[in-house]
């Protein structure tokens, strides 16, 4: 068979595969048409509100003027990135963003895992449900209310200062001290999300085969050894996936909570990229191009960290996002 015949045969096979694939796709769509109809609004939502607006990121490379629009505004290249990297705020906001996320990763990420393991060991169902309800509640409270509660807790006459005074210490404005801001932010975040975050781990625990625990007990393993040799390996895949996703958000700190809690006296430790973008783009100066460049920088770093974390976890544990 010569080269021409081989090429013709390959082309015919490819064409037949396309026809077969089209028929299978149409058959599958007809069989599951109601499921596809249900997913259409979700796809449209993400396309309209998440993917379509991405074209606006081009203003990071322009001197955006509202009157002239996005495409007619003049190009400035990497000017806004250079201005940000050379500003006196670059080191501060980058350091604060990474430190707050690092503290959240070290102390906040294991918290729901520990809570799920502790709840899994409870045998009194009524008490277990009570603990779950109490820990879930903060997640459903409005963030403004949560921040108001935090401000009351750490005020001079708040419960935290009452405890400090009872132990012999002096009362102080805890939230006005830059050295306390990161601790307050991270601890309050754990209190707010630990119960909600434990749900996915409890669901994973329910999928572990009970026969594994029975085999471990037959081998003489106590509850600690069962948790170490059965429970944690069963949770490992979901822990790895959530850890990768968490590392992929190392440059993200919710600006709403930051803005509600910080003040000019705590900018030194509280000002992060998202709050700086808010002040730069929407509060006072209205430098849309500069804020877009800063936000784009954070997104690029997050993407790089996500790819690196996935590659590392894939090499180390064999589990990853892709």
Residue 17 has pLDDT above 70, yes or no: no
pLDDT given for residue 297 in this prediction:
92
Task: Read off the pLDDT of residues 185-206 as tens digits, 9 standing for 90 and up.
Answer: 999 999 999 999 999 999 999 8
CA gap 213, 205 in Å, rounded: 12
Residue 263 has pLDDT above 90, yes or no: no
- How far apart, in Å, are the Cα atoms of 104 and each of 182, 186, 191, 243, 251? 10, 6, 12, 12, 12
User: What is the pLDDT of the chain when averaged over all its residues?
Assistant: 86
pLDDT given for residue 15 in this prediction:
55
Residue 55 has pLDDT above 70, yes or no: yes
For 319, phi then psi, to 5°, come to -110, 145
**Local confidence band at 252 (pLDDT 50, 70, 90 cut-offs):** confident
pLDDT given for residue 19 in this prediction:
59
| 105's tokens | 């990763």
For residue 65, what are the β-bridge partners? 69
Q: What is the mean pLDDT of residues 5-33?
A: 67
pLDDT given for residue 243 in this prediction:
93
pLDDT given for residue 284 in this prediction:
66
Task: Read off the pLDDT of residues 202-250 as tens digits, 9 standing for 90 and up.
Answer: 999 988 888 888 888 888 888 888 888 888 888 988 999 999 999 999 9
pLDDT given for residue 92 in this prediction:
92
| 319's tokens | 């589990």
Instruction: Judge if pTM exceeds 0.85.
Output: no
CA gap 222, 197 in Å, rounded: 27
pLDDT given for residue 31 in this prediction:
86
**Local confidence band at 14 (pLDDT 50, 70, 90 cut-offs):** low
Which SS3 state, helix, strand or coil, does residue 62 take?
Answer: strand
pLDDT given for residue 255 in this prediction:
80
Q: What is the mean pLDDT of residues 26-35?
A: 85
Nearest to 64 by CA among 301, 314, 298, 293: 293
Measured torsion, CA atoms of residues 67, 71, 72, 73, in degrees rounded to the nearest 10? 70
254, burial (CB in 10 Å: exposed 0-12, middle 13-18, buried 19+): middle
- How far apart, in Å, are the Cα atoms of 76 and each of 69, 81, 118, 264, 277? 15, 10, 56, 32, 19
Task: Read off the pLDDT of residues 280-304 as tens digits, 9 standing for 90 and up.
Answer: 887 767 788 888 899 899 989 999 9
For 152, phi then psi, to 5°, come to -70, -40
Residue 4 has pLDDT above 50, yes or no: no
| 124's tokens | 């009194």
Residue 2 has pLDDT above 60, yes or no: no
């Amino acid at each position: 068979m010569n080269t021409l015949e081989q090429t013709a045969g390959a082309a015919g096979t490819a064409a037949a595969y396309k026809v077969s694939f089209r028929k299978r796709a149409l058959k599958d769509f007809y069989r599951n048409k109601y499921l596809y109809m249900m997913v259409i609004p979700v796809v449209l939502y993400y396309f309209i509100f998440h993917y379509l607006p991405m074209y606006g990121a081009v203003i990071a490379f322009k001197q955006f003027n509202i009157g002239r629009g996005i495409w007619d505004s003049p190009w400035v290249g990497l000017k806004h990135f250079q201005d940000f990297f050379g500003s006196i705020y670059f080191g501060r906001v980058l350091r604060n963003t990474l430190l707050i996320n690092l503290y959240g990763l070290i102390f906040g990420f294991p918290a729901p895992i520990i809570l799920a393991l502790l709840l899994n060991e409870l045998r009194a169902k009524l008490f277990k449900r009570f603990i779950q309800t109490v820990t879930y509640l903060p997640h459903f409270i409005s963030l403004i209310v949560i921040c108001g509660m935090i401000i009351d807790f750490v005020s001079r006459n708040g419960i935290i200062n009452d405890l400090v005074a009872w132990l012999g210490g002096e009362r102080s404005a805890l939230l006005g001290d830059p050295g306390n801001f990161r601790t307050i932010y991270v601890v309050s975040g754990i209190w707010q999300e630990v119960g909600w975050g434990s749900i996915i781990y409890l669901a994973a625990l329910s999928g572990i085969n009970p026969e594994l625990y029975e085999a471990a007990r037959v081998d003489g393993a106590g509850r600690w050894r069962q948790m170490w040799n059965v429970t944690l390996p069963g949770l490992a895949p979901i822990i790895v996936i959530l850890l990768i996703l968490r590392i992929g958000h190392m440059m993200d700190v919710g600006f709403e909570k930051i803005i509600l809690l910080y003040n000019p006296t705590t900018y030194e430790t509280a000002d992060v990229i998202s709050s700086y973008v808010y002040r730069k783009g929407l509060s006072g100066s209205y430098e849309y191009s500069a804020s877009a460049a800063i936000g784009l920088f954070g997104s690029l770093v997050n993407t790089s960290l996500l790819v690196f974390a996935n590659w590392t976890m894939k090499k180390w544990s064999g589990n990853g996002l892709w």
